[in-house]
Chains A and B, each alone.
Chain A
Amino acid sequence: QSALTQPASVSGSPGQSITISCTGASSDIGGYNYVSWYQQHPGKAPKLMIYDVSDRPSGVSNRFSGSKSGNTASLTISGLQAEDEADYYCSSYTSSRILVFGGGTKLTVL
């Protein structure tokens, strides 16, 4: 099972919006509404930000939103803040009954 494809890095200025893409296949992202997104600060455990494509866990800012079109999922962060600077990972359930992560995207807030 190949890893999902994410851009290595994205950047934006405070207040702006950014979008991180996550591309898979019909056997994972395209076939199921089980895409999740995690935020990870250096040296810390991952934190769930989005699950089931577009649902937000309690306590996660509504500045974070998720969507999916075909085999590509996206995470959008609006009103960018300095604390959003972190690594972001997408994940999907697959037809092999396992999960797969993307390679991760480093978000820099300029």
Chain B
Amino acid sequence: EVRLVESGGGLVQPGGSLRLSCEASGFTITSSWMHWVRQAPGKGLVWISRINTDGATTNYADSVKGRFTISRDTAKNTVYLQMNSLRVEDTAVYYCGRGPGSHSDYWGQGTLVTVSS
């Protein structure tokens, strides 16, 4: 059974950093693109980043480029989202998903990131 479990969310001050993890089971992350999307409270989904099957290609939305970094540890079958220089507007539930590069067929349940002083 495919399962994705996000963790690492919490409360952080503006300008701070946080690293989110997405532990995968039921498949290997080397066989799928992995995506991060977020959803601010009461708002819609926003695509953030993706990493390809060999880890050599990463893409980012303009809103996070230069501040967020997607990476992975194949031994742990886990994908990460390192978030630096956090802003109040980064407050959201962050979901990871797997799939081809164009969409995600499975999503985790999300982890909440709150950026506030």
Find the A residue at minimum CB distance from B106. Answer: A48
Q: Which of B47, B59, B95 contacts A91 (CB 8 A)?
A: B47
Interface size on B, residues (CB 8 A): 24
Given the known inter-chain contacts A91-B47, A99-B50, A101-B44, please indicate yes or no for A46 contacting B60, CB distance below 8 A.
no
Minimum distance in angstroms from A89 CB to a CB of chain B: 5
Interface residue stretch chosen among B11-19, B21-29, B107-115: B107-115
Check A89–B45 contact: CB distance below 8 A.
yes
A100 to B50, CA, bound (A): 12
A-facing mask of B36-64, CB < 8 A → 1, else 0? Answer: 01000000111100100000000111100
Given the known inter-chain contacts A45-B110, A89-B44, A104-B44, please indicate yes or no for A97 contacting B105, CB distance below 8 A.
no
B-facing mask of A93-110, CB < 8 A → 1, else 0? Answer: 100011111111000000
Find the A residue at minimum CB distance from B107. Answer: A45
Given the known inter-chain contacts A36-B102, A48-B103, A51-B103, please indicate yes or no for A99 contacting B44, CB distance below 8 A.
no
Contacting residues of chain A (1-42) with chain B, CB-CB under 8 angstroms:
1, 3, 32, 34, 36, 38, 40
A1 to B46, CA, bound (A): 11
| B104 interface contact, C-beta 8 A | yes
